[in-house]
Structure 1
Amino acid sequence: MTTGTRSESEVEEFRVRTDLVVVGASAGGVEALRTLVGALPEDLPAAVVVVLHMPAGGSSALPAILSRSGPLPALAVQDGAELRSGHIHVARPDYHVVVQDGVLRLSRGPTENGHRPAVNVLFRSAALAKGPSVIGVVLSGALDDGTSGMAAIKSRGGVTVVQEPGDALYPGMPESVLQHVEVDHTLPVARIGPLLADIAGESAIQVTIAPVPEALRMEVAVSRDDAGAEFGEIPAIGSPTTYTCPDCAGSLLEIPGNGVQYRCLVGHGWTADALMEAYGGTLERAMWTALRTLDQKASLTHRMANVSRDAGRDLVADRYSRQEEEALAAANVLRKHLLRGGVREETGT
C-alpha cells in the first residue's frame, strides 16, 4: 500500500506477500532446475515462472521434465495466463514472458543478448509489476543474462537468490550477478528449493523502496509487443555510442545501471559480455567467408593460368600464377588461425 503523497525523492511503502518466484537459467540449467523443483513443496504459496535459454525453433520438453522432477505441475506459458500458486510456468521457445497486470503475456519483442525468451525481460517486468512480492533466482548459465534483471528486482525490494558459482555447471551467470548486485542468498542449488519453501508466501512484510526508474519502465515497454515503446522514446534512456547492433546493424545506446547495457533504436538489448561474444561470432563468420573467397580466387587463377599457357600467353599466365600463390599463402595463414582458434575454444586452453 502506498502511504500518502510523494515526490520523486520520496519512497513507497508496501505490505506484501512474496508470491512470485522468477527463475532464470541457461547452459547447465536443466539439471539445476530439476534439483530445485524437486525440493519444492506441493503447497508452495507462490507461482514459479521459469526462463531457460532455448533455440527458437520447435517445442520444449521442459514442462514435462519439471513435472516429473517434483510435486508441482509445470506447464508452458499461455498468453494471458493467470499466475497460479503451486504451479511452474515455463517460457516457450521464441517468446519472451512478461508479467503485466497480474497475468503472464507472451511477447515477440526484440531479442536480448540474442535470446528470446530472455531472463532479463522476465525479471525486469516482474520487478516493475510486483515489486517486493518477487523472489528472483539465477542458476547455471554462461555470460551475464539475468544481472540487470536481478538488479531491478533488488532495487524494487524483492529477494535475490543465486546458485553458488562453484556448484553450477556454468558459473558465468551467477558470478556476474554476484559482481554487480548485493544478493540476499548464495546457495548450492540443492538448498535453494528449501529456502524458497521457507520464504515464499511470507506476509505482513514492511518494505520501503524508491520510485520506479524511468529506464526500467522503458525497458519493460520495449520488451512488449502489444504496446511497447514507440520509435523515438528509446534514445531517452541512454547515450549514443559508436557500436552497432549484431542483430540489425543499428546504432547502440549505452544504458546506465548495474553493469554495462546496450540497446539499439529498435529495441535489441545487449550486455557487454554478450555483445563481445556476438562480435566475435561475426568476426569468425567474416574470416571463414574470406577464406572461402581466397580458395575460390586461387582455384580460378590456377585455371586462368593454364588457359593462358595453352594459348601461348606466358606473361599473362605468369601473372595469374603469382596471384594464385598470393591467394594460397593468405588462405593458409587464415586457415591455420581459424583452426587454432577452434582448438583453443574446444579444449578451453
Structure 2
Amino acid sequence: MARVSSQYRDVIVAGASAGGVEALKTLVATVPADIPAAIAVVLHLPAGGTSALATILRRFGTLPVVVAASGMPLGRGRVHVAPPDHHLLLVDDQFVLSHGPTESGHRPAINALFRSAAVALGPRVTGIVLSGVLDDGVAGLVAIRDRGGRTVVQDPRDALYSGMPRNALRHLTPDHVLPVADMGAALNELVREEVGVGAGSSASASMRLEDRIARLGHPSVDHEAEGMGERSVFSCPDCQGTLNELNRGQGWYRCTVGHAWSEEALLAAQGDVFERALWTALRSLDEKANLARRMHAAAVQRGDHWSAGRYGRTADETNEAADVLRDRLTALPDRQVESGS
C-alpha cells in the first residue's frame, strides 16, 4: 500500500483589535526566528491613511515583516500584515487583497482572513485571537477548528481589552489559552505537528460562499436560495438593506450586498446609529429654538404681540425638549472604541 504523504501546520493567522499592537509586538518578539511557518496578521485599521504596523513590528524579534500584497506567496519565517481597507485572504498558497464587503464594520476583518485560511489550507492552519473588544475572529476561529486546524486564544486576564478573547472562549474550547508571552514556544511546537493530506473535514458550502463573498464581493447574494439563512427583522447599519440570519441561533447576519454582522457587532452598531440620530435630533431642536427666538424678537420689534407670544412659546417648548434630549445624551455610557492604535 502506498504511504499517504504528510504536511505540517505551517500557517499561522492572528487577529487583534484594541490593545492589539502591544499583543502583536510581544507575539513577534517571542516567535523563534527559525519557525517553519508563515504568519499573517490582521489588525483593525481605519479605512483612510496608511498603517505603521509593519514598521513597528520590525523593531521586535528577528522575523522579517512585510505588508501583504495580492499574489504574494506564503513566506515561511515571515510576518505578513494586512494593509488598511482591504481584506487579507488566502487562496491556495498565496495572498489575495480584496475590497469585499465589510464584516462587523471592519475591512480588513479577522473573520475574513481566518475563514479563507480554513477553506484554502484546512488543518495546516493555526488561528490566534488576541486583544480586542466585541467578537471579530470568533466565527473564523470556529471555521479553523471545524477544518481540523489548531486554535489559540490570548488569556483574557493578559489582554488589554478582553472582549475578543472572552467571546472566543464562549463559543469554543481552544487548544491553548495563553498569555501572549508564552505563545511563541507553543506555536513552535504546533507548527511541527504532522498532518496527513486530506485530514480534517471538508469546508461547508456556507463557509465557501462566505469566503467567496469576501474575495469577490458578489452583489445580491440570495442566502435563502443558497440555504444559508432566513430573512430577519433587522437592517444592515452599513447599507440599510435587510439582514438574513445565517444558521439560526448562531448570531451571524448578512445583507444581500454582503455586509456581515455578528450579534455583538450589530448591537454596538445599532447603538451608534441611535446615538447619531439623537445628536441629529438635538441639533434640529437647537436650530428650531434659535429660529423661534429670532422670529420672537422680530415680532416684538414690529409690535406684533400675538405672533411674539406664539414664537416665544415655541422657543420655550423646543428648549425644554432639547434639554431633555441633551441630558439623555450626556447620560449615555462611555463605549470602548474599536481601534488598533
What is the TM-score normalised by the length of structure 1?
A: 0.91
Q: Secondary structure at the match of 1:127?
A: helix
Q: Match for 1:296: what amino acid?
A: E
Contact 2:8–2:192 (Cα < 8 Å) also in 1: yes
In the TM superposition, what are the counterparts of 1:249-260 in structure 2 within 5 Å? 249-256=240-247, 259-260=250-251
Q: Distance in 2 between matches of 1:156 and 1:27?
A: 28
Which structure's relative contact order is higher, taking Cα pairs within 8 Å and 6+ residues apart? Answer: 2
Q: Distance in 1 between matches of 2:240 and 2:221?
A: 17
Give CA-to-partner distance per residue, 1:289-338, whole Å, 9 cap, x none: 11111111111111111212222221121111111111000001111111
Q: Match for 1:222: what amino acid?
A: I
Q: Give the corresponding residue for 1:234.
A: 223
1:54 is aligned, of 45, 54, 61, to 45
Q: Match for 1:234: what amino acid?
A: H
Distance change in 2, residues 1:204/1:181 (3 Å): closer
Give CA-to-partner distance per residue, 1:201-230, whole Å, 9 cap, x none: 3224587533321110110000013xx545
Corresponding position: 1:261 with 2:218: no
Q: Give the corresponding residue for 2:339.
A: none
Corresponding position: 1:299 with 2:290: yes
Give CA-to-partner distance per residue, 1:36-66, whole Å, 9 cap, x none: 1101111110000000001111111111111
Q: Distance in 1 between matches of 2:221 and 2:157?
A: 43
2:317 is aligned, of 314, 326, 348, to 326
Q: Give the corresponding residue for 1:145.
A: 136
1:28 is aligned, of 7, 19, 23, to 19
Q: Distance in 1 between matches of 2:210 and 2:64?
A: 31
What is the TM-score normalised by the length of structure 2?
A: 0.93
Corresponding position: 1:66 with 2:66: no
2:85 is aligned, of 83, 94, 104, to 94
Distance change in 2, residues 1:199/1:205 (3 Å): farther
Corresponding position: 1:277 with 2:268: yes
Contact 2:251–2:263 (Cα < 8 Å) also in 1: yes
Q: Distance in 1 between matches of 2:125 and 2:144?
A: 7
Give CA-to-partner distance per residue, 1:232-252, whole Å, 9 cap, x none: 443422210010000000000
Q: Secondary structure at the match of 1:275?
A: helix
Distance change in 2, residues 1:169/1:259 (3 Å): farther
Structure 2 residue runs of 5 or longer lacking an equivalent are 337-341
Q: Give the corresponding residue for 1:197.
A: 188
Q: Secondary structure at the match of 2:183?
A: helix
Q: Distance in 2 between matches of 1:332 and 1:16?
A: 66
Q: Secondary structure at the match of 1:175?
A: helix
Q: Distance in 1 between matches of 2:218 and 2:314?
A: 53
Give CA-to-partner distance per residue, 1:117-159, whole Å, 9 cap, x none: 0000000000000000000000000000000000000000000
**Aligned alpha-carbon RMSD (Å):** 1.8
Identity of aligned residues (%): 47
2:237 is aligned, of 224, 246, 251, to 246
Q: Distance in 1 between matches of 2:242 and 2:23?
A: 37
Tell me which stretches of 4 or more aligned residues in structure 1 moved more than 6 Å. none
Q: Match for 2:307: what amino acid?
A: V
Q: How many residues align?
A: 332
Q: Distance in 1 between matches of 2:23 and 2:319?
A: 49
